[in-house]
């Protein structure tokens, strides 16, 4: 069994099995207080409220399209789309590390879950923000309009808005490439971190109240033409050794 160090105050996880034994863990500070199950997932970390990974075992298909992706936290916060014409495409392979993903059409396709969720909210995604480098394309929002709107501001910059907002620093990775992104929604102490580059700012005080993928929270505007391989949210900021584990997981699972 492999022990992993979690910072003081982090809850104990579960037992890590043999499937993860060959993987290399990041250097973590003492004390070594916990271990987690194999394979480790982001929702093994404390305070996870939604965990969306569109895999064979978690998707409900309507032909080639997705009507639901199950929430893996056990809380039942599944993202769904009952209207067939608005169901995004499921792609079985070809994502980062050849993983499966869901893809929006940039017109009216989205998946949504509404549930109680207030700031601070920390959201991790493995995503292609816009297949066309499009501008003002929503990658995600809260379950309500402008609850946690994350969108393409330019061909190389993401922006966030929850009553106020800010944009990534100029330059960086184009929207039409797969990225690892985490965004902390916490008023004036918020940040965007994409591919290791962090920009801080004030997002405002709106609460997510759920999550919508590939559309603005009004379910009618700024439809995204991007793609998701994973989207996971927490009801507190992920910090310290837990953040190191999150980064290690994304690097190992997706090669990002």
- pLDDT classification of 172: cutoffs 50, 70, 90: confident
Q: Which residues pair with 123 in a beta bridge?
A: 183, 233
Nearest CA to 113 out of 162, 83, 163, 76 is that of 76
Q: What pLDDT does residue 38 have?
A: 56
CA 140 to CA 111: how far, in whole Å?
Answer: 10
- pLDDT classification of 90: cutoffs 50, 70, 90: very high
Task: Please give the CATH number for the structural domain made up of 42-254.
Answer: 2.60.120.200
C-beta atoms surrounding 191 within 10 Å? 18
CA 238 to CA 43: how far, in whole Å?
Answer: 12
Which pTM does this prediction carry? 0.87
Nearest CA to 192 out of 125, 97, 143, 138 is that of 125
Question: What phi and psi, each to the nearest 5 degrees, are found at residue 69?
Answer: -120, 125
Domain edges within the chain:
1-40, 42-254
Q: Is the pLDDT of residue 135 over 90?
A: yes
Q: What is the mean pLDDT of residues 137-166?
A: 97
How high does pLDDT run on average in the chain? 89
Q: Is the pLDDT of residue 3 over 90?
A: no
pLDDT tens per residue across span 190-237? 999 999 999 999 999 999 999 999 999 999 999 999 999 999 999 999
- pLDDT classification of 2: cutoffs 50, 70, 90: very low
Cα–Cα distance list, 102 to 55, 67, 183, 200, 206 (Å): 9, 11, 20, 29, 27
């Amino acid at each position: 069994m492999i022990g992993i160090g979690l910072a003081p105050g982090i809850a104990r996880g579960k037992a890590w099995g043999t499937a993860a034994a060959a993987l290399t863990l990041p250097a973590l500070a003492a004390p070594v207080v916990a271990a987690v199950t194999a394979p480790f997932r982001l929702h093994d970390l404390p305070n996870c409220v939604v965990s969306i990974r569109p895999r064979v075992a978690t998707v409900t298909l309507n032909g080639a399209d997705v009507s639901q992706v199950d929430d893996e936290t056990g809380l039942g916060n599944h993202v769904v789309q009952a209207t067939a014409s608005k169901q995004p495409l499921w792609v079985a392979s070809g994502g980062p590390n050849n993983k499966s993903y869901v893809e929006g059409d940039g017109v009216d396709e989205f998946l949504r879950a509404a549930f109680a969720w207030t700031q601070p909210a920390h959201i991790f995604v493995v995503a292609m923000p816009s297949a066309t480098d499009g501008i003002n394309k929503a990658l995600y929002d809260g379950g309500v309009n402008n609850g946690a709107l994350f969108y393409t501001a330019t061909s190389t910059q993401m922006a966030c808005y929850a009553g106020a907002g800010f944009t990534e620093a100029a330059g960086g990775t184009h929207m039409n490439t797969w990225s690892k992104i985490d965004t902390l929604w916490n008023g004036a102490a918020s940040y965007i971190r994409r591919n290791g580059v962090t920009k801080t700012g004030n997002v405002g005080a709106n609460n997510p109240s759920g999550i919508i993928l590939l559309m603005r929270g009004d379910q009618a505007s700024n439809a995204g033409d991007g793609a998701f391989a994973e989207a996971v949210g927490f009801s507190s900021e992920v910090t310290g050794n837990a953040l190191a584990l999150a980064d290690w997981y994304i690097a190992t699972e997706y090669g990002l």
